[in-house]
Amino acid sequence: MKKRFFFDRKEKKLQMDSEENSFERCVLCGVVTDVPVQMPVSERKCYIPGAGQLCRDCCRELYGSDDLGTTAESEICKI
């Protein structure tokens, strides 16, 4: 399995995900989401093209919804 890194905002440093961690992290707050790494982006509900995966809380806070699959890409990119 590839080594994956993430920026820990609390510790303010780069951390390495453990081998057993196979879920995406939120690109905004860094929390581990319920989205498997192998899930295609076309099937993800809170994925931002060009940025990455958001957790449901950040997605709701930014877009007012936790399902961006129904939001037009042009609306997502306005922010």
Tens digits of per-residue pLDDT, 2-57? 666 666 666 666 666 654 558 898 999 988 899 998 899 989 999 999 899 999 99
On the question of pLDDT at 78 being above 60, the answer is no
* Number of residues written out for the chain: 79
User: Is residue 69 over pLDDT 50?
Assistant: yes
Predicted model pTM: 0.65
What gap in Å lies between CA 33 and CA 79, rounded to an integer? Answer: 22
The more confident residue out of 27 and 79 is 27
